[in-house]
């Protein structure tokens, strides 16, 4: 029995979008961290400071979720 071919992605954004992930972006004077879980409605948390957003980002990363920072493109 042969293994199925690994899926190849054309860019990092496409790879992250295919899995459970979170995104982080500027929102007004703060930051929006949005959790995307397959089969569920995205959950957005608005943070006043970058430190607050980073704490949430670290929490999601420690749970094994991939992240995408739109500012870092």
* Widest CA span in the chain: 55
Number of domains composing the chain: 1
Strands 21-27 and 66-69: parallel
pLDDT of residue 3: 67
SS3 state at 66: strand
Compute the CA torsion angle 1, 8, 37, 72 (nearest 10 deg).
150
pLDDT of residue 38: 85
**Cα distance from N-terminal residue to C-terminal residue, the chain:** 40
Question: What does the pLDDT look like over 9-34, one tens digit per residue?
Answer: 565 556 555 578 899 999 999 999 99
Question: What does the pLDDT look like over 31-53, one tens digit per residue?
Answer: 999 999 888 999 999 999 999 99
pLDDT of residue 33: 94
Indicate whether 6 belongs to any domain: no
Determine the structural domain holding residue 29 and report its residue range.
16-48+57-66
pLDDT of residue 30: 94
Indicate whether 20 belongs to any domain: yes
């Amino acid at each position: 029995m042969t293994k199925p071919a690994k899926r190849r992605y054309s860019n990092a954004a496409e790879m992250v979008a295919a899995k459970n992930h979170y995104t982080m972006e500027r929102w007004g004077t703060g930051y929006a961290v949005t959790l995307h879980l397959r089969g569920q409605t995205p959950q957005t948390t608005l943070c006043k400071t970058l430190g607050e957003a980073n704490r949430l980002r670290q929490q999601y990363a420690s749970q094994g979720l991939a992240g995408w920072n739109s500012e870092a493109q």
